[in-house]
């Protein structure tokens, strides 16, 4: 199946390129920019709404993508339906991790611990293997920054993420520069219950969020916004399996995070209240000016100039406009501004001891 749902790479640009590249309207070259900004930064609303971190908004259904949004690499090109397992089957669960955009940059981003996460399954009855992952429909840049279309007053977002399930595990790929390790063993019945949850999770959690935003790098610092990416999907799935009775092995598991650091965010409004007929024209202009340097299809000269503009806005003037839950927020940026981490998040403990794991 093309995805676990009805409609159609943190740092989760998918590990490999899909077949059948589409039009390149939405091609971006900002992966190096994020790394540059993180390095350079290291060197150099309504109060009643404010629940921190702001809860990720879920939806009743997944909308069809706008035809304007075209992926350079086809989403989930070899996708297939999640099979129904026999209840007495024994399913092995594998942690899968490999460098982001390995098909393009090799192990370069692996050395920087910028990794893509997925889950593998193996049926002992059929001896078939499966891979399940969650990533962007239109590549990472489109989920992180909008298009400024001249015919539209508001920024235009091509932001959806979805689950992809397909038969097979590319053992050599995951092992060569990443991780392929057994983390749990579950029953076929437990797998089937997980599959029903995946469909519901995928239908209601429809958009990707690159950034984790918090007050400082210190442990226990106030967190303003959570990311919603490939690793968060893996973590949610592990938690669901633990809830169903799965016992996980005691092994270290680390995940990539891209942090923004800011003071308390200010709620600005949604598209209508900011960019509509009665919106704040000064604020609307400021938001579009902020996003302008992130536009795609830049010449080398334009790209370098844009890097300077981004540095000036984020580091010198300490400003960042975040789009979250289809609403705009202002972030008063703080040192170290942006940081890419590879942090340990332990595997969950079994939640329900009354359920039979096998």
Q: Exposure string (b/e) for 77-101, b if CB count within 10 Å is 16 or more?
A: eebeebbebeeebbbebbbbbbbbb
Q: What pLDDT does 119 receive?
A: 98
Whether 65 is covered by a domain: the verdict is no
Examine residue 267 and state whether it is found in any structural domain, yes or no: yes
Give a yes or no: residue 227 inside a domain.
yes
pLDDT digits (tens, 9 = 90+) for 213-237: 999 999 999 999 999 999 999 999 9
Specify if 96 maps to a domain.
Answer: yes
Helix (H, G, I), strand (E, B) or coil at 149: coil
pLDDT score for 22: 37
Residue 51 belongs to a domain: no
In a domain, 258, yes or no: yes
Q: Give the per-residue SS3 of 87-114.
A: CCCEEEEEEEEEECCHHHHCCHHHHCCC
CA-CA distance, 21 to 10, in Å (whole number)? 23
Q: What torsion, rounded to 10 degrees, do the Cα atoms 346, 351, 355, 358 define?
A: 0
- Flag residues of the chain having pLDDT under 50: 1-2, 5-10, 17-31, 40-45, 48, 354-358
Structural domain boundaries enclosing 135: 90-344
Active-site residue identified among 12, 69, 76, 116? 116
Is 116 noted as a catalytic residue in this protein? yes
- What is the separation, in whole angstroms, between the first and last Cα of the chain? 28
User: Exposed, middle or buried, 19 (CB in 10 Å: 0-12/13-18/19+)?
Assistant: exposed
Measured distance CA(112)–CA(90) in Å, rounded: 36
**Burial zone of 12 (CB within 10 Å; 0-12 exposed, 13-18 middle, 19+ buried):** buried
Q: For residue 109, what are its two tokens?
A: 């981003």
The reported pLDDT for the residue numbered 356 is 43
C-alpha distances (whole Å) from 6 to each of 145, 189, 202, 276 are 25, 24, 9, 31
To the query of whether residue 69 is one of the catalytic residues in this protein, the response is no
Structurally, how many domains does the chain consist of?
A: 1
Answer whether the bond into residue 343 is a cis peptide, omega within 30°: no
Domain annotation covers residue 181 = yes
Q: For residue range 90-124, what is the model confidence (pLDDT) as tens digits? A: 999 999 999 987 766 677 777 788 899 999 999 99
Q: Which of 320, 322, 290 is nearest to 306 (CA)?
A: 290
Question: Does residue 290 form part of some domain?
Answer: yes
pLDDT of residue 111: 77
């Amino acid at each position: 199946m093309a995805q676990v749902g009805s409609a159609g790479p943190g740092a989760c640009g998918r590990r490999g390129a899909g077949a059948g590249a589409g039009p390149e309207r939405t091609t971006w070259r900002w992966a190096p920019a994020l790394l540059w900004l993180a390095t350079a930064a290291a060197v150099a609303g309504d109060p009643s709404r404010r629940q921190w971190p702001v809860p990720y908004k879920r939806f009743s259904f997944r909308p069809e993508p706008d035809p304007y949004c075209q992926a350079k690499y086809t989403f989930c090109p070899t996708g297939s339906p999640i099979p129904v397992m026999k209840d007495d089957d024994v399913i092995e669960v594998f942690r899968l991790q490999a460098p982001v955009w390995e098909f393009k940059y090799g192990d370069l981003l692996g050395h920087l611990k910028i990794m893509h996460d997925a889950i593998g399954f193996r049926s002992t009855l059929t001896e078939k293997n499966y891979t399940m992952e969650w990533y962007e429909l239109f590549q990472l840049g489109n989920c992180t920054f909008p298009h400024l279309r001249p015919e539209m007053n508001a920024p235009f977002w091509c932001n959806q993420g979805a689950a992809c399930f397909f038969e097979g595990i590319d053992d050599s790929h995951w092992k060569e520069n990443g991780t392929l390790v057994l983390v749990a063993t579950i029953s076929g019945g437990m797998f089937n219950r997980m599959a029903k949850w995946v469909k519901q999770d995928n239908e209601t959690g429809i958009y990707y969020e690159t950034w984790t935003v918090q007050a400082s790098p210190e442990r226990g610092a106030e967190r303003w916004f959570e990311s919603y990416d490939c690793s968060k999907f893996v973590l949610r799935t592990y938690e669901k399996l633990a809830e169903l009775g799965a016992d996980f092995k005691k092994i270290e598991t680390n995940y990539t995070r891209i942090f923004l650091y800011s003071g308390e965010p200010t709620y600005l409004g949604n598209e209508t209240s900011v960019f509509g007929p009665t919106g704040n024209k000064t604020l609307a202009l400021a938001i579009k000016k902020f996003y302008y340097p992130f536009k795609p299809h830049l010449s080398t000269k334009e790209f370098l100039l844009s890097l300077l503009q981004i540095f000036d806005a984020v580091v010198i003037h300490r400003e960042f406009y975040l789009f979250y839950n289809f609403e705009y927020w202002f972030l008063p940026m703080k040192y170290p501004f942006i940081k890419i981490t590879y942090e340990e998040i332990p595997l969950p403990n079994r939640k329900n001891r009354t359920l039979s794991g096998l």
